[in-house]
Amino acid sequence: MKKIIKYISIIIVSTVFISACGEKNRQADGATASQQVFKWKLVTSWPKNFPGLGQTPEVFAENVAKMSNNRLQIKVYGAGELVPGFEVFDSVNTGTAEMGHSGAYYWKGKMPASSFFAAVPFGMTAQETNAWLYYGGGLELWQELYKPYGIIPLPGGNSGLQFAGWFNKEVNSLADINGLKMRIGGIGGEVFKRAGGLPVNMPGGEIFSSLQSGALDAAEWVGPYNDLSFGFYQAANYYYSTGWQEPTATLEFLINENAFEQLPEDLQTIVTIAARAAHADTLDVYSAKNSSDFKLLVEQHGVQVRTFPPEVIAKLKTITADVISDMVIDDKSGSVQKVWSSYKKFYDDIKAYNEIAEHMYIKNR
């Protein structure tokens, strides 16, 4: 009996000792994990530190560093510094960079449905789009679309309504669009093509010289804030304010899924929250700067502002419906139909509401 008690005592002491050692090791492992430093690369489609678009990823990276006490350090590369602006998606997909910052409509060749997450001609405004993304199932569909590529997309800024663009001749009828070489992308580019124009897709940094040389007759970029920075008023005669092609321009953060999953849970949360903060801040910046810089363009630089005739807008709207209908029919994967159905349902509901709310208020104030 004494021997049995002795053996039990030895087992208990041994178990306590082993448990204590295990707990100590777990604490050490936890401390090591919490102190591990991760260094990421973030590639963008914009010039380094370009106002608005280029500053959003910089602000994001700074906030992540502060909130993580420098445990996650993200170095931002402008377009062309590490990879060309239109190769951001592929770079994140292959792991060349852990993150990217760009616009979803640049990948419409891979995934036609991606355009709906950037801008839809005559579609939802920035605030309406945010509501769909965060509370209408849009973000889940977006992440589902990118899942096969090993990429997690998050909203990464919004420039709000974009101007129709800069033109070297006036547009007084549909005939004036025929044969017009214009920098315009996304669904809007296809609509412009069917209206008789010649859409050209090119990075922002090439637009000024192309307008100046005559390689382009017209170009849409963003709006007064960015357009003033690029000096487009020196290369084109007329500035058309009748935005139709991008009533919102949602930017995106692209995250390599494998890299994200290697982060501790707290750093994953920091990345997600910092992205949401950068997304909201960008729209605030554009809302403030567009109005002040538009005033500068008109009063200081003598820019001639124009609007499209109603018949041109009506035709562009009709063509837009045809383009989207064809996108649904042509896409064999079913992703366009799935995303468009969600977008359209939310759009119809919120449009009806805003007709008696926001729109009525703006009309009456």
What pLDDT band is residue 146 in, cutting at 50, 70 and 90?
very high
Rounded CA Rg of the chain: 26
How many angstroms separate the first and last alpha carbons of the chain? 94
What was the pLDDT predicted at 33? Answer: 55
Is the pLDDT at 318 greater than 50? The verdict is: yes
User: What is the per-residue pLDDT across 154-196, written as a single tens digit (0 to 9) for each?
Assistant: 999 999 999 999 999 999 999 999 999 999 999 999 999 999 9
Per-residue pLDDT of 325-363, as tens digits, reads 999 999 999 999 999 999 999 999 999 999 999 999 999
Report CA torsion sign: 214, 219, 222, 227: positive
Instruction: Quote the distance between the C-alpha of residue 189 and its chain's center.
Output: 18
- Residue 16 pLDDT: 38
Work out the number of other CB atoms within 10 angstroms of the CB of residue 75: 15
Q: What is the pLDDT of residue 15?
A: 40
Q: Hey, which bits of the chain come out as E strands?
A: 38-44, 72-77, 99-103, 151-158, 165-167, 181-183, 198-200, 218-219, 238-240, 250-256, 304-306
State both tokens at 241.
């304010």
Sequence letter at residue 65: A
Which pLDDT does position 174 carry in this prediction? 94
What's the token pair of residue 205? 């940094």
296 pLDDT exceeds 70? yes
* Helix, strand, or coil (residue 249): coil
* Residue range 17-73, pLDDT digits in tens: 334 444 444 444 444 556 899 999 999 999 999 999 999 999 999 999 999 999 999
pLDDT band at 279 (very low <50, low <70, confident <90, very high): very high
Ramachandran category for residue 69: left, alpha or beta (phi over 0 → left; psi -120 to 50 → alpha) = left
pTM of the model: 0.88
The predicted structure's pLDDT at residue 9: 43
The tens digit of pLDDT for each residue in 187-237 reads 999 999 999 999 998 888 899 999 999 999 999 999 999 999 999 999 999
- For residue 110, the one-letter residue type is K
Q: What is the pLDDT of residue 307?
A: 97
pLDDT at 205: 82
In the prediction, which pLDDT does 12 show? 37
Q: Determine how β-strand 99-103 pairs with β-strand 181-183.
A: unpaired
**Three-state SS at 185:** coil
The SS3 of residue 100 is: strand
pLDDT of 3 > 60? The answer is: no
d(CA 269, CA 279): 15
CA distances from 150 to 92, 143, 212, 216 (A): 8, 10, 40, 36
| Span 298-314, pLDDT tens digits | 999 999 999 999 999 99
DSSP designation for 262 = T
Domains of the chain: 36-160+249-288 (3.40.190.170), 162-245+303-329 (3.40.190.10)
State the greatest distance between any 2 C-alpha atoms of the chain, in Å, as a whole number. Answer: 107
Q: Is the pLDDT of residue 95 over 80?
A: yes
The structure tokens 């292959």 sit at 94
Cβ count near 321 (within 10 Å): 12
- Per-residue pLDDT at 77 exceeds 60: yes
Here the tokens at position 40 are 């990421």
Q: Among residues of the chain, what percentage have pLDDT more than 90?
A: 88
Residue 69 is classified by DSSP as T
Q: Output the pLDDT for position 22.
A: 46
Packing angle of the helix pair 138-146, 126-135 (nearest 10 deg): 70
pLDDT at residue 32, as a whole number: 54
Supply 127's token pair. Answer: 């605030």
Residues 6+ apart with CB under 8 A from 58: 49, 76
Quick one: pLDDT band at residue 97, thresholds 50, 70, 90? very high
Residue 86 and residue 61 in contact, taking contact as beta carbons nearer than 8 Å: no
Is the per-residue pLDDT at 250 higher than 50? Answer: yes
